[in-house]
Amino acid sequence: MRAADRKAAGLPKRIGSALGDTWKPLLAGGVAAFAFPPLHLLPLLPFAFLVLMRAIDRARSTRQAALAGFAFGFGLHAVGLYWLINAILIRASEFWWFVPFPSLGCALILAPFAALPAALCRCVPAGWRRCVLFAATWTLCDMGRLFLFSGFTWNPLGSDWAVHGLAGDIMIQPAAWIGVDGLTLLTVLLALIMPLGRKVAAFCVIAVLLWAGTGVLRFYGLERQADVSAASATTPVVALVQGNVPEQEKISRSDMQKVFERYLRLTRQGVTQALEESGRTQGAAHPVVYVWPETAFPGVLEEDPEARSMIARAAEGASAGIIGTLRIGPDQHWRNSVVELDETGTVTGVYDKATLVPFGEYQPRFLPLQVVPGGGMTPGPGPRSWHFPGLEAVGPLICYEVIFSGHVIDPHDRPGWLVNVTNDAWYGNSAGPRQHLAAVRLRAVEEGLPVARAANTGVSIVYDARGHDLGRLEWGMEGALVRAMPPALPPTFFSRFGQKIPAALCLLAALIALFPSRSGWRLRSDG
């Protein structure tokens, strides 16, 4: 048999050998996804990463190790992003053929970000050094997702700690110093080293307790005095309007007048309640701001003075309104925007969404088929602060712009609060809106700023500057949520230095892992 024939005959065997054990890290990655919101099954992570590290340790080559990492990443994101299919099912009659692609396609694109650390960690011997190097490179690669298309940093493992309630309030507090990516580094590192032995597991338990203790000190510490101090006279009372309009109804535009009247009615109710809330405060009354979700106005509000006048009458007594709407820019391209209305219904501010959703609001050039309706949107210039008379400066964020850690405010013009408008109706009553909500909460902690979030179908919510839930409208409810916005905290350590902090921590961890051990000390399994 010729050499070429022998080589060709052995190819299936080599492929089978390479793929034979990848089902284990693939399954482990899928299991690890159950630690994401809303389940938060964090105890599954050590077991999932143990399977991955064993596959890496047993790999006969760096390429095989990378393949194990790729399989793990694919399973993690395919399960974690399953809810993307819902957006296609809404238009299944038109895009039925595209149903398998959103979740599996995104997982395929994101899997290399897990393959690279699996390959790089082979640079050091198996054991604690390999675990440390893997955690560092995993986190750096995760941060690198910021540069994928327009950015897709969804579901960092650090967000697993954003558990609903007091437990989550405490465990996410270190994000004020190291950001969610720093939490990811700690999460992966603890998950990797915990199976190394009973003593190491005990060390990990102590580390988690210290983590919690740090969170308790910050949450209940001296800095908390800022939360109970008197708010500034410019700190608003907000009325978050949740219309609960099904996405099919928005797309079909079957009864836009009915939708508009619903928002007018809820705005009237919310502003009336907010004025009563404002009047109960000591000293001067606080300004009232009403907020409509992303694209809540069923038209182009800038070009509809009659609609603006109707909104102003419904919101009589309010100082300003923030309305989600589409608009057409001077270049005749569509924008996903929010506009600010004054007491008379005049447009006094415009913010265009800067970070667009790939495959949803714009189409990457490599995709041969047109799947984005209308040719997509045009992005705006980036984070900014709105300054209006008598009102605390506010930083507007549209939809998933809020997921980008360290990139949600103008660093040269810090606002006093953030407002996030969104429409998660695309993704149904699934994990997607809850994962989005975890990102909102973490941004509040990282920046030390309260956040008001208005969502079309929920969850609309107000978080204080420590990510504590001050009130919410759950999924599928119609109504107006009224809350006095709490004051901002002083700029956090992370707010000052941003992603330089977790990046520096990752580089330090990588150096520790790569530095040769002269004493021969290593962690051994004693189990």
pLDDT digits over 259-312, tens only? Answer: 999 999 999 999 999 999 877 655 567 899 999 999 999 999 999 999 999 999
- Helix ranges (DSSP H) in 287-329: 305-314
Instruction: In whole angstroms, give the CA distance from residue 425 to residue 520.
Output: 56
Strand-pair category, 347-352 with 386-388: unpaired
* 137, 510 Cβ separation under 8 angstroms: yes
Q: What is the distance, to the nearest Å, from the Cα of residue 252 to the centroid of all Cα atoms in its chain?
A: 29
Radius of gyration for the chain, computed over Cα atoms and rounded to the nearest angstrom:
25
Task: Give bridge partners of residue 237 from the DSSP assignment.
Answer: 288, 484
Q: Residue 85: left if φ>0, alpha if ψ -120 to 50, beta else—which one?
A: alpha
- Residue ranges and CATH numbers for the domains of the chain are 18-222 (no CATH), 230-486 (3.60.110.10)
Question: What is each CA distance from 514 to 57, 107, 120, in whole angstroms?
Answer: 17, 30, 11
Strand-pair category, 288-291 with 237-242: parallel
**Residue 449 DSSP SS3:** coil
Average pLDDT value for residue range 434-461 = 97
pLDDT score of 228 more than 50: no
Average pLDDT value for residue range 87-95 = 72
Query: DSSP secondary structure string, 357-410?
Result: PBTTTB--TT--S--SGGG----------EEETTEEEEEEEEGGGGGSTT-SS-
* 381, 352 Cβ separation under 8 angstroms: yes
Task: Give bridge partners of residue 338 from the DSSP assignment.
Answer: 324, 351
CA dihedral 290, 296, 299, 302 (to 10 degrees): 30
Give the per-residue pLDDT at 527. 35
Amino acid at 406: G
CA dihedral 180, 183, 184, 188 (to 10 degrees): -170
Task: Give bridge partners of residue 324 from the DSSP assignment.
Answer: 338
pLDDT score of 99 more than 80: no
**Residue 521 DSSP SS3:** coil
Per-residue model confidence as pLDDT tens digits over 127-163: 999 999 999 999 999 999 998 888 899 999 999 999 9
Copy the structure tokens of residue 512: 């520790």
* 320, 341 Cβ separation under 8 angstroms: yes
Task: Give 21's pLDDT tier (boundaries 50, 70, 90).
Answer: confident
pLDDT score of 203 more than 80: yes
Pick the closest to residue 317 from 282, 258, 277 (CA basis): 277
**Largest CA-CA distance found in the chain, in angstroms, rounded:** 95
Per-residue model confidence as pLDDT tens digits over 457-493: 999 999 999 999 999 999 999 999 999 999 999 999 9
CA dihedral 256, 259, 260, 265 (to 10 degrees): 160
Average pLDDT value for residue range 52-75 = 96
Instruction: In whole angstroms, give the CA distance from residue 401 to residue 398.
Output: 6
Task: Give bridge partners of residue 350 from the DSSP assignment.
Answer: 339
pLDDT score of 356 more than 50: yes
Q: What is the distance, to the nearest Å, from the Cα of residue 507 to the centroid of all Cα atoms in its chain?
A: 24
Least confidently predicted of 19-28, 32-41, 468-477, 485-494: 19-28
* 29, 148 Cβ separation under 8 angstroms: no
Task: Give 519's pLDDT tier (boundaries 50, 70, 90).
Answer: very low
325 φ, ψ (degrees, to nearest 5): -160, 160
* 325, 353 Cβ separation under 8 angstroms: no
Give the per-residue pLDDT at 50. 97
pLDDT score of 11 more than 80: no
Instruction: In whole angstroms, give the CA distance from residue 330 to residue 402.
Output: 26
Amino acid at 262: R
Task: Give 239's pLDDT tier (boundaries 50, 70, 90).
Answer: very high
